């Protein structure tokens, strides 16, 4: 009889927003950029709004309106 350790074929982990703290990074680095460039931006709102564009963009991919697209390209498209 095989032990469970030898029967595992794959280990998957959700790291997007679970392991990676994207929100705090955007707020912190946006704040630094804002100071350097004299920008007045609500970076918390910006981060939330940017993330809010993810599901609609993925919906376009799922419906076939966009081809399979890397997440970096979707994030850039959401910014545009």
pLDDT tens digit string along 20-65? 888 999 999 999 999 999 999 999 999 999 999 999 999 999 999 9
Ordered domains of the chain (ranges, CATH): 4-79 (1.10.150)
Taking the C-alpha atoms of residue 47 and residue 7, their distance in angstroms, rounded to an integer, is 41
Query: What's the pTM?
Result: 0.72
- 7-19, pLDDT tens digit by residue? 788 888 877 767 7
Band the pLDDT of 2: cuts 50, 70, 90. Answer: low
Given this model, what pLDDT does residue 22 score? 87
pLDDT tens track for 38-47: 999 999 999 9
Q: In 4-20, which positions are buried (b, 16+ CB within 10 angstroms) versus exposed (e)?
A: eeeeeeeeeeeeeeeee
H-only helix segments in 1-80: 4-7, 22-37, 43-52, 54-62, 71-79
71 to 59, 62, 75: CA distances (angstroms): 13, 13, 6
Q: What confidence score (pLDDT) does residue 17 get?
A: 67
């Amino acid at each position: 009889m095989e032990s469970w350790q030898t029967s595992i074929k794959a280990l998957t982990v959700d790291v997007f927003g679970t392991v990676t703290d994207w929100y705090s990074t955007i707020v912190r680095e946006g704040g630094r950029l804002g100071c350097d460039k004299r920008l007045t931006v609500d970076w918390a709102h910006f981060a939330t709004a940017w993330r809010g564009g993810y599901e609609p963009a993925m919906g376009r991919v799922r419906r076939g309106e966009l081809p399979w697209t890397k997440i970096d390209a979707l994030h850039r498209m959401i910014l545009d």
